[in-house]
Amino acid sequence: MSAFRPNKRYSEGHDPRLHLRLLALTKTEGHAQNLNKILAKFQKASTFYNDLTKRISIVKKSLIVADMVKSENFVEFFANRENKYREYY
């Protein structure tokens, strides 16, 4: 292997091989920024999905309560709960 020897034609810091290395690093940084953007989009989608599932569960619970209200046992159900509450406290 040959040692790195800067070309005499170029002053320090203007070696084309160094330029290629810096170019490769900036490309890598660009890829990392793109990956960070994609990751941020996935995180936004994830939080949206979590919020959506929470809202769906709230709607399901409210539908269950609505079914209970429609049922004939609604009054009995709450009367029993109130009696249990009074017995407990």
17-56 pLDDT per residue, tens: 766 777 777 777 778 888 888 888 888 888 888 888 898 8
For residue 4, give the DSSP letter: P
| Listed ranges 12-21, 52-61, 75-84; the one with the highest mean pLDDT | 52-61
Residue of higher predicted confidence among 75 and 1: 75
Can you tell me the distance from the alpha carbon of 11 to that of 7, in angstroms, rounded to the nearest whole number? Answer: 8
pLDDT reported for residue 46:
87
pTM: 0.41
Angle between helices 74-88 and 16-70 (to 10 degrees): 100
**Domain range annotation of the chain:** 16-88
Residues 6 or more apart in contact with residue 2 via CB below 8 angstroms: none
Can you tell me the distance from the alpha carbon of 70 to that of 73, in angstroms, rounded to the nearest whole number? Answer: 9
Residue of higher predicted confidence among 78 and 63: 63
